[in-house]
Amino acid sequence: MTAPATDIRSILFVCWGNICRSPSAENMMRKQLDASEFATIQCDSAGTISDHQGNPPDSRMSAAGRRRGLPMTGRARGVTRSDFVTNDLILAMDKANLADLRRLAPDDNALGKLRLFCEFCRNHDETEVPDPYYGGHKGFEHVLDLLEDGCDGILEHLRNQ
């Protein structure tokens, strides 16, 4: 099957440390893309800080993700200048991440690629994906619910382009 035409060939998910929200979004989106007509679209994730560089996803987030069939692969890394060139859509998990990305963006073209992840949510009213790091089990589950909703919305967006 030939994939429908889309301007988006790569998506970058960004949170603060790249150990909870953004790697979960990357893994969820990749799983959904692989099962769709958009399997050639690349996904990656990064953080606006590099404190956790090289670390795997948070163990609590990984456990919650695995319960939903997500592989939870990847290693934390910081956003780089090349991310603004190689990715067609850059999705921030919250407004602070978006502000950081706007400061890091090298030009207007890069700024045009930035959006809040929750803009793609269809069933949740939140405008930001909350950081579950200091929360309990329910916080991780809520984040995964938001990510699933938003990734479904991204697929819908791709199909409607």
Catalytic residue IDs: 15, 21, 131
Q: Is 128 helix (H, G, I), strand (E, B) or coil?
A: coil
Q: Is 85 helix (H, G, I), strand (E, B) or coil?
A: helix
Contact by Cβ (8 Å): 26, 146: no
Q: Is 77 helix (H, G, I), strand (E, B) or coil?
A: coil
Exposure class string for 70-89: b at 16+ Cβ within 10 A, else e: bebebebbbbeeebbeebeb
